[in-house]
Amino acid sequence: MTRLAPCAARSALRGRPDVRRRWRRRGRRGQVAAVATILGLLLLVTMIANYLSTQLPATMKLNDANHALTVENQLARLAGTLRAAAGEDVVGGEFSQPITLGSLGAPPIAAPDGSSIAAGDSGTQFSTSYTVQNGSHKITQTTTTLIGATFVVHLNNVYGPPADVAFDQGSVVYAQANGLPLMLDPPGVNYTGSNLTLWIPQFLGLVGNEVGVGTAELSVRLVSVLALTLPLHGYSLATGSSVVVSVTTPYAAAWLDYLSGVPALSGDVACTPTGSAACVGPFAFGGSLGTVTLTVPATALDIEVATYSVSLT
């Protein structure tokens, strides 16, 4: 093999300028590719950061809000079913209501926000007091629920504020910490003219506990219905007397606000302890109880005390 001397090799390269240009082009192409890779990575990181800081929280907040709406509708449907079963006197009738525990997630980054179901405060109570008259004879009657028909779905929201959606003695209430509870579905209290109608649900035993993101099912059976109508068979409400309805609940502020907003009842409702957080807010999870008292003059009274057995699966 013939070898070129160094000077001869240089002379040969001088005669081939395209070789050096190719080397320079390859170097520039490598630099451009590296810069493009870095810019692509920066763009990808920016997109991920924007998704995590803006789009993901917005999506999950919407999912939490939709989950709350789903639970509200489920408890409102339950309240309507319980009342209809009692109104039709379907004693022994069994029915169920699914309760969705988890919100939608945003896979693969955000898991669903879960919730829990638990019995309401053991101090809740719905009672009535009235005086019955037959001729000159008068007697005061008091109807008190054995166990308040109440349970709470606590929404353990991560991206939105945690909240309670409560089935509270026939009503449905929504509450967030440091706010005021809101009555979503009214209780079974109706006052028309001088006729007061009450639907008072009560539970036998306590609703169980459930935690997670699946779907729980509340099974209900109507055990009994006790109905009272006055006047009837010579018995009536005592002349000049009032019917007193008392509700003890952690959501007293919602009851007070709702009943005060009914024109026929606005001047006949009060809450104790006066000025307490239970009555006027702010609401706190696991906070104190308040008692809302409604005192109305009535000449006719219809009371329906419905007892239900409940179980959670």
DSSP, residue by residue, 3-24? PPPHHHHHHHHHT-HHHHHHHH
Nearest to 118 by CA among 83, 82, 155, 81: 155
Predicted confidence at residue 13, as pLDDT, reads 47
Please count the helices (runs of H) and the strands (runs of E) in the chain.
5, 17
Token match 């024109």: residue? 263
pLDDT for the residue numbered 184? 97
Average pLDDT, the chain: 87
Average pLDDT over residues 148-166: 94
Q: Using 50, 70 and 90 to split pLDDT, how confident is the model at 259?
A: very high
Query: Across residues 287-308, what is the average pLDDT?
Result: 95
> Which of 5-14, 233-242, 249-258, 303-312 is least confident?
5-14
pLDDT score of 8 more than 60: no
What integer pLDDT is reported at residue 38 of this predicted model?
A: 74
Quote the pLDDT of residue 91.
Answer: 96
pLDDT of residue 30: 61
Beta-carbon-side half-sphere exposure of residue 259 (alpha carbons within 13 Å): 28
pLDDT higher for 265 or 60?
265
6 pLDDT higher than 60 = no
Model pLDDT, residue 28: 61
Contact 155, 71 (CB under 8 A): yes
Q: What is the pLDDT of residue 20?
A: 54
Mean pLDDT of the 85-103 span: 95
What digits encode the pLDDT tens for the residues 228-240? 999 999 999 999 8
Other Cβ atoms within 10 Å of 280 Cβ, number:
15
Amino acid found at 110: A
The whole-angstrom separation of Cα 304 and Cα 235 is 17
Looking at the DSSP assignment, which residues form a beta bridge with residue 115?
155, 212
pLDDT at 104 over 90: no
Predicted pLDDT of residue 121: 87
| 309 bridge partner residues | 204, 221
Does residue 85 have a pLDDT over 60? yes
- What pLDDT score does 78 carry? 97
Contact between 197 and 294 (Cβ < 8 Å): no
Whole-prediction pTM: 0.83
For residue 63, is pLDDT > 80?
yes
Backbone angles phi, psi at 20, to 5 degrees: -65, -40
Tokens representing 73? 């509708």
Rounded CA Rg of the chain: 34
Question: Which amino acid is it at 33?
Answer: A
Domain ranges (residues) in the chain: 65-312
- Residue 203, pLDDT > 70, answer yes
How far, in Å, CA of 260 to CA of 280, rounded? Answer: 13
Q: How far apart are the C-alpha atoms of 231 and 237, rounded to whole Å?
A: 7
Mean pLDDT on 127-148: 87
Which pLDDT band, with edges at 50, 70 and 90, does 109 fall under? confident
